[in-house]
Structure 1
Amino acid sequence: MKDKRILYVSSEVVPYLPETEISSMSFEAPRMVNSQGGQIRIFMPRFGNINERRHQLHEVIRLSGMNLVINDLDMPLIIKVASIPKERMQVYFIDNEDYFKRKATLTDEDGNLFSDNDERAIFFAKGVIETVKKLNWAPDIIHVHGWLASLLPLYLRNYYGNEPLFKDSKIVTSVYARGFEGALDDGMQKKILFDGLEEEKTTIVAEPTYENIMKIAVDNSDAIIKASEVLPEGINAYIENADKPKLDFKPKQEFAQAYQEFYLRDVLNEKED
């Protein structure tokens, strides 16, 4: 993995949020690449329940100050950064007062999904891509974790389809069992179409359930990792029918070699270093 550039985009990463299957692998995978001499960047949302003082987050003025248009509204993009202690890994945080100030991640205290989670997902996807453009850092692989990050493949392949920085980038999406009940706002597709994406490429999220959001990520990715031992039946069948490289579930203690081989052989079509 020496000198390979891998961009990790996740809805959650330890130590900034509690340990889950997603947050743990969103830490372990970049740590593995980092230890092998690869170059990594990690992006996640700056949720309001992340303790900025404890984790020493600070705003990066040169990257902030841009407005992203979400459903015809200008939403300021703020970029913060922190370093994971002892790992020499920087994490970039996508922030916005309206979307991420509340002291929770994806649901309220009663467990109900926030009504603007669809807009938060759009903002996160566009915010990551715009920030990487400002960094002028062309990744070999973009590895996506968690459903809040799952619109990034769609936006990168369509909205940013002619962006030269990403012309050789390959997208890997890890699909997890943990999703959400019900659906996001039923206007989600309309908000995506406002950005000029083709309707036929977004039809699947006319009903924005967890399964459909992950299916649109699969459609726009170059390779898929089954990141949970057991996936919902519909998503698992969709992955199996997708004509693209896929990696079956690997437990945390066994994933490193499998991921390295998958990145190089199946995603980049290279021989292992």
Structure 2
Amino acid sequence: MNGKKILFVSSELVPYLPENEVSLMSYEAPRMVNSNGGQIRIFMPRYGNINERRHQLHEVIRLSGMNLVINDMDMPLIIKVASIPKERIQVYFIDNEEYFKRKATFTDENGELFPDNDERAIFFAKGVVETVKKLNWAPDIIHVHGWMASLLPMYLRKVYADEPLFADSKIVTSIYGVGFDGHLNKDLGKKIAFDKVGDDNLSGLDNPTYNNLLKVAVDHSDAVILAAEDIPDDLTEYVANLKKPVLPYVPLQEFEEAYANFYNTEVLN
């Protein structure tokens, strides 16, 4: 991984959120690349239940200040940053008071999905791309973790297809068993269409379930990692029929060599 630039984009990340299969691997994979001489950037949403004082988040004024248009509405983009000192890793947080100030991640106190999770996912995808453009940092690999990040591959391939910074970037999507029940707002496809994404790319989002979101993500990715043992059968079968590199599930204790080899031999070649 020496010298390779890898952009990690995740729904969740320890130590900022509780440990689960997404948040833990979203930490371990960048740590592995970092320790093997790669260059990394990590992005996640700045949910309101992240303790900014404890984790020493601070706003990056030079990156903040632009507005993103979401469903014909101007939404201010705020970028914050924090460090994980023991690993010398820096994390960028995509923030907006309307979408991320509430003291929860994906659901309310009754366990119901937030009705605007669809717009939060769009905002996160566009916010990551626009911030990386401001950083002028061209990644060799963009590795996506978690469903809140699942719209990023499609946005990169369709909305930002002519952006030279990402012309040579390869997209990897990890699929986990941690998803959600039910579906996001049924107007998700219409809101994405506002960004001039063709209908042929949106057919899978007529019913925006967890499985369908991940299918759209892997359709627009160059490679896929099965990052859990208990992935839904529907997704497993879908991935099995893809004509692109797939890394089968590898336990956490053995992932480092497997991921490094997959990046080097399957994704970058």
TM-superposition CA deviations, 1:88-136 (whole Å, max 9, x none): 0000000000000000000011110000000000000000000000000
Per-residue displacement from partner, 1:191-242 (whole Å, max 9, x unpaired)?
A: 0001100011111001101110000001000000000112101100000001
Aligned counterpart, 2:252 = 252
The gaps in structure 2 that reach 5 residues or longer are: none
Match of 2:43 in 1: 43
Look up the match of 2:78.
78
Where does structure 1 differ by over 4 angstroms across 4 or more consecutive aligned residues?
Answer: none
Deviation, 1:20, is 0.4
Partner of 2:66: 66
Give the whole-Å Cα distance in 1 for the aligned partners of 2:81 and 2:196: 31
Q: How many residue pairs are counted as aligned between the two chains? A: 269
Give the match's secondary structure for 1:92. Answer: strand
Query: In 2, distance between residues paired with 1:256 and 1:32?
Result: 6
| Equivalence for 2:28 | 28
The C-alpha deviation readout for 1:162-194, integer Å capped at 9, x for no partner, is 000000000000000111111000100000001
CA-CA distance at 1:85 after TM superposition:
2.2
TM-score under structure 1 normalisation?
0.98
Distance in 2 (alpha carbons) for counterparts of 1:67 and 1:74: 6
Answer with 52-61 or 230-239: which moved more. Answer: 230-239
Structure 1: how far apart are the matches of 2:215 and 2:34?
30
Deviations 1:60-84 (A, max 9, x none): 0000000000000000000000001
Q: Which amino acid aligns with 1:39?
A: Q
- Listed as ranges, the matches of 1:1-273 within 5 Å are 1-269=1-269
- What CA distance in whole angstroms lies between the structure 1 residues aligned with 2:186 and 2:33? 39
- 1:259 is displaced (CA, Å) by 0.1
Deviations 1:4-40 (A, max 9, x none): 0000000000000000000000000000000001000
Q: Which runs of 5+ in 1 are unaligned?
A: none
Partner letter of residue 118 of structure 2?
Answer: D
Distance in 2, matches of 1:229 and 1:207, equals 25
Task: Tell me the amino acid that sits aligned with residue 56 of structure 1.
Answer: Q
Matching residue's letter, 2:145: H
Over aligned residue pairs, what C-alpha RMSD do you find?
Answer: 0.4
Q: Secondary structure at the match of 1:44?
A: strand
Task: Specify the code of the residue in structure 2 equivalent to 1:85.
Answer: P
What's the secondary structure of 1:24's corresponding residue?
helix
Matches of 1:250 and 1:66 in 2, distance apart?
Answer: 40
Matches of 1:6 and 1:39, distance apart in 2: 6
State the AA in 2 paired with 1:180. F
TM-score computed with the length of structure 2 as normaliser: 1.00
Amino acid at match of 2:61: I
- DSSP-derived class of the 1:196 partner: coil
Percent pairwise identity: 70
How many Å apart are 1:55 and its aligned residue? 0.1
Q: Which amino acid aligns with 2:113?
A: L
What is the CA–CA distance in structure 1 between the aligned matches of 2:17 and 2:95, rounded to whole Å? 15
